[in-house]
A and B are shown apart, each in its own frame.
Chain A
């Protein structure tokens, strides 16, 4: 379970103080698919980066499996990201000079897992996203949809508990987007918790629950009980 407690993130743009995330509290259950919707600049991606241990909040805490992740050292936080989190980005963020297989295996390059076992895992992940047989291709040889599938496979390779996706369909056409959303929906059956940021309200239906952000605050939520959306002063 992920507990977000009174989370605030502020930064300065020149001399102007910006509240990207404004006192948000909520809980995400294991194996839950949460979608976060909102307009550009509403704080969706910032919340995701804080959840992923990439950006320290100004105040508040994130508790994952009883672990306050921002009390960890930078080394421990990197390990947390490696073991708990799988990221999927809007622009795929694949390494262009690596092949499909090498991109997928990136998270395993810092482990002691043998090459043979790594390749076997890569094959399974590729098959699960429908890219079997394309392991030796370079990114330039793939369509946008295929690249996003590679990114999803990379997020799954080290079997993380949480998948954080930042507008994974943002750069894709409607048909490909639907196929990618189906993959995310299917991931639930592998026991993953999924947090997906999107500005497309239609995709919120894939999730178990959804929150809508505006100016860093939760302004709407579906699928939440009062106890799960615990004391949120901003609402």
Chain B
């Protein structure tokens, strides 16, 4: 039986890297005595995947993993068992059984929403003007050096409440925008100096586009 779980990555575990997180979750699954199916072949591994890596230093209340269990078990029991033995900060919020033929979360994800605590005051007007520009150009670092990219189409929505930026942007294996790039562009536009180590990022949720509407992965 295939399952999808929505889980958190809390403040106390935000510096755990992606591969370390994978291993930690797989160990928690083992401790929970959830019998995960193993792949065939010379080097069997758990049938398990994570929707979209989260950058080191970011927290999240909307991460997703897909896995396949040998036995059929109720969603509540899966959640309960995992949360009883998972590290503080890595907790399942919700579990859903997947239907046959449903796409993996990793293949679906296209957008993510973020909450960013800024270290400078930027007014709501500024951000309105910022996102209504015809193009929003940033310097993107690639393997072959830096290049100028237009990120306008990667921004679905961006607004400010107090010193908190709420933004929904491209997040996924096809099209991806680093939230720090958006924040940097915004700071530059507002004439503020940007230090990516001084903002706090929390991912809120992940989505895909279905008939021109954002859809959550648990729907």
B and A form one assembly: no
Residues of A within 8 A of B (CB): none
